[in-house]
Amino acid sequence: MFALLGCGYTGERVARRLLARGLPVLATSRRPERLSLPGARLLRVDLDDPSTLDDLRRALPAGVRVLHSVPLLRDAYGGFRDPTPELLSCLPTSTKRVVYLSTTGVYGGVFEVDETTPPAPRTPRETLRVSAEDHTLAGPWSALVLRPAAIYGPGRGIHVSMRRGEFRLLGEGTNFVSRIHVDDLAALTDAALLSEETGAWPVADLCPAQSREIAAFCAELLGCPLPPAASAPELSETRRANRRVDGRMIARKLRVRLTFPTYREGIPQALAAEAGETQSEEPGAFSETG
Ligand SMILES: NC(=O)c1ccc[n+]([C@@H]2O[C@H](COP(=O)([O-])OP(=O)(O)OC[C@H]3O[C@@H](n4cnc5c(N)ncnc54)[C@H](OP(=O)(O)O)[C@@H]3O)[C@@H](O)[C@H]2O)c1
């Protein structure tokens, strides 16, 4: 069985890939009723409600393969806490495989990142991510950590925040942004669950680009003016990032060829998918995080 703990934006796509091949899937969410995954077993798991962790413990069979994609949670004091120890304590010791979706945030202020770059966390949030990775890798199972750059796709990314009038460039927009299309991340995660590769790896598409370049591309597609600039303190950590991530090594090891090697393929696909969704249903209401 495959247990997808935190079946959100990426997890749902991983679930669909596995289900399409007839594989058994258990998917967790705080609101499993929002998941549309025919054939999957859905389970409510909320780390703020410990009784749901007992349900999870009972639901996980021997030899399970697990995706952990629950982000850091807010603590009672407005800071962050890492749910990894609690979550992984529910796994049977016979768990075969754990894949953890971490973040390139663990590289802190390093500009050029590839598979040889060690983590260099600067903030408590980045440090917690490194400890979540270490916890995952220290378990009695085979484990792999994927560190995705900004995840984008239908309903998420610069094109969404620009359309809402919320996007701001950092100064002149010369900072580099690395990203990965959610479908490519799902393909890598799917392969990772079935592979025996171990360790922690950066994940990104083939095209780190200055944020003004991507903003200009989106503005032209959307037919709107280039957004105004903002200073660093006004922007989220993600928007302030300045990082060029080379994620080719893990894609090669997992034998995954990216469908969206650059934003020039990925953003038009996201817009087309959103247009399709708007015709048939409400557009996705994902917020941009990470
Ligand atoms: N977004 C980015 O650009 C980005 C970039 C790099 C790394 N990451 C990291 O990659 C991972 C996957 O990202 P994503 O965007 O696919 O995640 P997502 O859509 O935010 O999904 C997160 C999942 O975690 C679950 N979760 C959140 N709080 C929980 C709680 N208190 N108890 C139990 N479950 C909880 C959510 O439950 P519900 O289904 O109830 O919402 C959801 O299923 C995350 O760790 C994220 O931080 C994200």
Task: Determine, yes or no, domain membership for 289.
Answer: no
Task: Determine, yes or no, domain membership for 42.
Answer: yes
Per the CB < 8 A criterion, the answer to whether 125 and 117 are in contact is no
Name residue 64's amino acid.
V
- Measured in Å, residue 223 CA sits from the centre of ligand 1 at 31
* CATH value at residue 237: 3.40.50.720
Task: Determine, yes or no, domain membership for 286.
Answer: no
Locate tokens 């749910």: which residue? 83
**Residue 153 CB less than 6 A away from ligand 1:** no
Task: Determine, yes or no, domain membership for 190.
Answer: yes
Rounded Cα distance between 87 and 4, Å, is 12
Residue having the nearest C-alpha atom to atom 48 of ligand 1: 290
DSSP-derived secondary structure letter, 284: P
What pTM was computed for the model? 0.94
DSSP-derived secondary structure letter, 232: G
CA 68 to chain centre: 10
Task: Determine, yes or no, domain membership for 38.
Answer: yes
Task: Determine, yes or no, domain membership for 113.
Answer: yes
Q: What is the pLDDT along the chain (290 residues), one digit of tens a residue?
A: 999 999 999 999 999 999 999 999 999 999 999 999 999 999 999 999 999 999 999 999 999 999 999 999 998 898 999 999 999 999 999 999 999 999 999 999 999 999 999 999 999 999 999 999 999 999 999 999 999 999 999 999 999 999 998 888 888 889 999 999 999 999 999 999 999 999 999 999 999 999 999 999 999 999 988 877 776 666 666 667 899 999 999 999 999 999 999 999 999 999 999 998 765 443 333 232 33
Q: Which atom of ligand 1 has the smallest separation from the CA of 152? A: 3
- Measured in Å, residue 225 CA sits from the centre of ligand 1 at 32
Task: Determine, yes or no, domain membership for 288.
Answer: no
Residue having the nearest C-alpha atom to atom 46 of ligand 1: 71
Task: Determine, yes or no, domain membership for 34.
Answer: yes
Name residue 62's amino acid.
A
How many folded domains does the chain comprise? 1
Per the CB < 8 A criterion, the answer to whether 104 and 245 are in contact is yes
Closest listed residue to residue 105, CA positions, set 160, 40, 150: 150
Domain that residue 234 falls in: 2-280
**Residue 6 CB less than 6 A away from ligand 1:** yes
**Residue 9 CB less than 6 A away from ligand 1:** yes
Per the CB < 8 A criterion, the answer to whether 92 and 62 are in contact is yes
- Measured in Å, residue 28 CA sits from the centre of ligand 1 at 11
**Residue 175 CB less than 6 A away from ligand 1:** no
